[in-house]
Structure 1
Amino acid sequence: MNTQPKVAIVILNWNGLKFLQQFLPGVLQSTYPNLEVVLGDNASTDESVTYVKSVFPSVTIIQNDNNYGFTGGYNRVLEKVDADYFILLNSDIQVKPGWIEPVIALMESDNLIAAAAPKIKAFAQPTHFEHAGAAGGFIDKFGYPFCRGRIFFEVEEDKGQYNQSGEVFWASGAALFIKKKYWELSGGFDEQFFAHMEEIDLCWRLKNMGYKVMYCAESEVYHVGGGTLDKENPFKTYLNFRNNLLLLKKNMPAAKAAAIISLRLWMDLLALFRFVAEGKRKDAWAISRAHQNFVRKLFASGKTQHPKSNNKQANLKGMYKSSLVKDFFIKKKKHFTDLDQDLFY
C-alpha cells in the first residue's frame, strides 16, 4: 500500500504539440511513486491530443469544450482530478526526475503550507533565473510583483545566492504545487483574470486566510516562457496592467486598496508615456484599455467570484513595505539582495 500522498501533474494545453513532444517525455520520467500525469486540453485544433493518446497512453486526458484561458481551463479540468496535491505545470517546462519529492516533503512538514514552487530557471540560459517565478515571488506596497532573482526586467544569474527554502508571497503558476483541499477552499482561479497574475491572486487569497506559500530551493525546473503570449505582446501588456489593479481591489482592505489604486493609476500613466516615447503605441493603448476595463469592473453590479477576506488573520510574509519602482529606477537597486531586508514582513 502506498502511504505517500497522491500527486497529479496537470498540464493545461492549447495547440502545444511542439512543447508536448519536447518536454512531456521528461515529465513522465519523474520518480515520485504515487503520481498521475494529466493533460487538460483547452479545445486544441492541432494534433496534440491525438499525439498524447497514441504515444503516451498512460497520460489521463481531460478535454474542455472550449478555450477557457489559463484560469477557466484549469478550473474545469481540476474539478475532475482526484489527488492530494495538484502540480499545475506549463507545457514548456523541462523537469529532472527527482523534482517532485523535495517540494512534497516541504509541504507535508506543515499543515499551514497551502502552495509552493520550485526554483525556476531559464531553459534558454540555464545559468540564469527565469522571469516568471525565479526563486519565489514577492510584492511591494503598491502591488508590483517581483521575485528573488528577477526585479522588473533585470534577471540574475543563479550563483547559489537563493538556495535557502522559505516562505514567499506567491508561487509561480508555471510550476505551482497546491494541496487539493486548499485549492477547493480558495475556490480556484478567478476567471476574471483569464491569464497572468491569477496565481498571485490565488496565493494572496490563501495568505489572507492565514496560510503559507513556500519556495523550495531543492527542486529546479527550466522554463521556456512566452509559449502562449510573447512578452512583447500588447494583449499581455493589457492583462498585466488590468490584472494588477484587480489584485489590489480584491485582496487589500477596501480603504487601503482605494488609496493605492489611485496612486497606481498615475504610476501606470508614466509607463504609458514611456511606451509612447519608445514607439510602442500598441502597448501604450493596451494600458489605456486596461484602465478602462478596470473602471468598468469597479462599477459593474453582481457578486464577485471570491469574497474578500476581512484580513484579520492575513499572513503578509513576503510583502515589501517600500516602493520597488523607487528602489529600482531611482536608487538603482537591481537585485533582490540590494533591497533592505528589514522592510519585508
Structure 2
Amino acid sequence: MGQYKVAIIIPVFNQWALTAGCLRSLREHTPDEDVQVIVVDNGSTDETAGACGMLGQELFGERFEHLRLDENINFGPGCNLGASRADADFLFFLNNDTLLTTGWLPPLLRAFEVRPELGAVGPLLLYPDQDRVQHLGVTFTPTNHVTHLYHNFPSTHPVVRRERNLQAITGAALMIPAGVFGQAGRFWEEYRNGYEDLDLCWKIRSLGLTLRCEPESRVYHLTSQTPGRFNAESHNSQVLARRCHGAFYPDMHLFAHADGYELRLTSTLTANIVCVRSEGETKDFGMERLWAEVIAEPLWEAGYERLLDFFFKQGMWEAALDVLQLQQSYFSTEKVVTGLARVASRLGDAELLTNCRNTFEQLREEAASKDIPRKFMALQRWAEKTRDEVLLEVCRRLSAHHQARGV
C-alpha cells in the first residue's frame, strides 16, 4: 500500500500558463482526495523553473513535488522518473494542457473496483470550446491507421457513453495501478514524445488485462501544445513497427458495426463511419430539421447532401460552407472537397480554392497509386483469414462501388 491513493504525474516543458491552469483546476476539482502531485520539469526555460514549486506548495502543500531537470529527457523518461518518485497505489499520467472537471477522479477509481481485469483507464477527453470528443479511445482503420474513435462527436451522443474494450488509450490522461505499470515495463524510453502510450497499452494487454475509457470522468484537453510535438514521427513509427509488429489489428469497423453504423472505404482506402437512415424516415424533414439531425447525428452522410442540395439551389453559399466544413471533419472524400471548391469559387475565397485543388490532386494521386490494389487485396486476405465477416462486407461494398463506376 502506498502513502497516497493516487500519484498524479505531470511532465512539462515550458508552457507555464498551461501548467498553472492545470494545477489550479486539479486543486479545484480534487479538493479532498488522497493524491500526490508530481511535476516533472523537462528543463523548462520559462517561468516554470521558478514559479512551479511555489504554486504547487501553495495548492497542495507537502503532497507536491517539483522535479527540476537540467535537460529535456522527453515524455516517456519523464513519466518514468515521476513514477519512481511516487508513493501511491495508482499512477495518473496527465498532460499539462488539460483542465480537470468536477468529479473526475472517483469514476476512474471505481472502474478498477468493478473490473478486476482492468489494466488501465482514461477519462473522456473533450475540446473545451464545444464539449466535443477529443478522445474516447484509440481505434485502428482497416489499413491499420491509428486514429481517435468518434473524434469531434458531441459529448451528449449515446455512443460516447457506451462501454467498450480498447486496444489502446492515450497517454495524455491515463490511470494505471502502480504494480501493473512496473509489470508492463513502464514507458519504453526509445520513443521521442510519441507512441509511448501505444507501446505501453500493448504490454498491458499482453498481461491479459483490458483497457477502457470512462465517460463519467471528463477532462478538457487543449491537445498537442508542446512545440515540435511531431518532429520525431518517422523515428517513433519505426520503433513501434519493430517492437509491436502484429500487436494491433483493425477494429474501427467492429466498433461501427456494434454501434449501428457502417464503415465505408474510399478509393484511397480511407475509412469513414456512416450512419444510414431510410429515405422514408427522413423524406419530410425540412431544412431546420435536417440541420438539427445532422448536428445530433454527425455521421448521417445523406443529411449533409440534402442540406447542400438545398443551399446550392438557393445560392446560400455561406450556409453551404458551414455544412461542408462540418462534413469534412467526419468524411474525407473527393465529393466533400469538390463541394468546398465550388463554394470557394462562388465566394471568391482564393486561399480555400487553392487548398481544395491541392487536396483534390493529392487524393487523385493516392487513388491512382499502384499500392492501393495491393493493399486492398491484402486487406481482403486478412479478413478471410480471420473470418471477419464485418470487414469482408466492407470490402464487398467497395468492390461493388468500383464495379458500378466501371473502375
Report the TM-score when normalising by structure 2.
Answer: 0.59
The equivalent of 1:274 in structure 2 is none
Relative to 1, partners in 2 of residues 1:185 and 1:74: Cα closer, same or farther, differing over 3 Å?
same
Within 5 A, what are the aligned runs for 1:146-295?
A: 146-150=147-151, 155-160=152-157, 161-229=159-227, 236=230, 238-252=231-245, 257=246
> 2:232 is paired with a residue of what secondary structure?
helix
Contact 1:149 1:157 in 2 (8 A): no
Relative to 1, partners in 2 of residues 1:195 and 1:37: Cα closer, same or farther, differing over 3 Å?
same
Q: Percent identity?
A: 21
The equivalent of 1:109 in structure 2 is 114
Shift of 1:138: 1.9
Shift of 1:329: 6.1
Letter matched to residue 187 of structure 2: F
Distance 2:103 2:66 in 1: 24
Letter matched to residue 75 of structure 1: N
Contact 1:208 1:251 in 2 (8 A): no
Distance 1:94 1:71 in 2: 21
Shift of 1:188: 1.0
Distance 1:4 1:216 in 2: 25
Please give the root-mean-square deviation of Cα atoms over the aligned residues, in Å.
3.3
Relative to 1, partners in 2 of residues 1:139 and 1:341: Cα closer, same or farther, differing over 3 Å?
farther
Distance 1:181 1:12 in 2: 20
> 2:85 is paired with a residue of what secondary structure?
coil
Deviations 1:47-106 (A, max 9, x none): 214212223312222223421011111112211111111111111101113101101100
Structure of higher RCO (CA pairs closer than 8 Å, 6+ residues apart) = 1
Q: Does 1:334 align with 2:272?
A: yes
Shift of 1:148: 1.8
Distance 1:166 1:31 in 2: 30
Q: Does 1:128 align with 2:132?
A: yes
Distance 2:114 2:244 in 1: 27
Relative to 1, partners in 2 of residues 1:199 and 1:34: Cα closer, same or farther, differing over 3 Å?
same
1:97 pairs with one of 89, 102, 105: 102
Distance 1:199 1:190 in 2: 9
Q: Which segments of structure 1 move beyond 6 Å, counting only runs of 4 or more?
A: 2-5, 336-341
Contact 2:2 2:89 in 1 (8 A): no
The equivalent of 2:45 in structure 1 is 45
Relative to 1, partners in 2 of residues 1:319 and 1:61: Cα closer, same or farther, differing over 3 Å?
same
Distance 2:207 2:127 in 1: 32
Q: Does 1:22 align with 2:21?
A: yes
Distance 1:247 1:35 in 2: 33
Contact 1:10 1:38 in 2 (8 A): yes
Letter matched to residue 133 of structure 2: F
Deviations 1:122-178 (A, max 9, x none): 12x333222xxx11112246442122223xxxx333342311233111111111111
The structure with the largest helix share of the pair is 2
Deviations 1:152-208 (A, max 9, x none): xxx333342311233111111111111111111111111111111110111012112
Shift of 1:31: 4.4
Q: Give unmatched runs, 5+ long, in structure 2.
A: 257-262, 276-298, 300-330, 332-387, 393-407
The equivalent of 1:55 in structure 2 is 55
Distance 1:118 1:318 in 2: 23
Contact 1:114 1:178 in 2 (8 A): yes
The equivalent of 2:367 in structure 1 is none
Residues paired across the two proteins, number: 268
The equivalent of 1:144 in structure 2 is 145
Distance 1:169 1:190 in 2: 17
Relative to 1, partners in 2 of residues 1:5 and 1:50: Cα closer, same or farther, differing over 3 Å?
closer
Letter matched to residue 237 of structure 2: N
Distance 1:143 1:220 in 2: 28
Relative to 1, partners in 2 of residues 1:329 and 1:84: Cα closer, same or farther, differing over 3 Å?
farther
The equivalent of 1:86 in structure 2 is 91
